[in-house]
Copies of this chain bind each other. A is one copy, B any other.
């Protein structure tokens, strides 16, 4: 057992990233999310936007290329997965921290003393929240949520063979819409 690390998986729009940041702030430890993506970008030489897309965003991105090209050997996504894997291991070795997303719970399962958290919320709560946080899009917020959840679940399943959002995979799962962001922060901090 290495350092104590909090890993947060989350549904898009549930406030998981905000919760991660607030928990880290309260505990006085670092929180890695977009910083982690930047670090991957620097080490891989890939443009930051591309990596963000490859992970889960681009239309057809991860799913199309991962399943489409695999018969020809490792894809760009496999390459990124390996770099990301190493970086997450290094971050966890460096000291206690919060890591949001990126399958960190799976990557660190035997390497760090993890508190594994999953944050979710109702479609209504998340739809309202993503429009407020990220603005309107041509596509409806509900459709954006469905697409994003599907990609995250597929990405997680593909690389970890674990089912995303299955209670048994986490130490605690919380409905941020019903309980409130700040209550979630309190509970996680209390458990750390």
Contact = CB atoms under 8 A, between A and B. Distances in A.
A165 interface: yes
A120 B167 contact: yes
B167 A170 contact: yes
Given A120-B168, A165-B167, A167-B167, A183 B191 contact: yes
A47 to B, nearest CB: 34
B174 A179 contact: no
B179 A118 contact: no
Contact of A174 (B11, B165, B172): B172
Contacts of A142: none
Consensus secondary structure, chain A interface? mixed
Contacts of A171: 174-175, 178-179
Nearest to A174: B172
A165 B165 contact: no
Given A187-B187, A191-B183, A172 B170 contact: no
A127 to B, nearest CB: 15
A172 B174 CA distance: 5
A84 interface: no
Nearest to A122: B168
A7 interface: no
B167 A173 contact: yes
A184 to B, nearest CB: 9
Contacts of A120: 167-168
A135 B157 CA distance: 38
A120 B169 CA distance: 10
Interface of A: 11, 118, 120, 165-168, 170-175, 178-179, 183, 187, 190-191
15 contacts: A120-B167, A120-B168, A165-B168, A166-B166, A166-B167, A167-B167, A167-B170, A167-B173, A170-B173, A171-B175, A171-B179, A172-B175, A183-B191, A187-B190, A187-B191
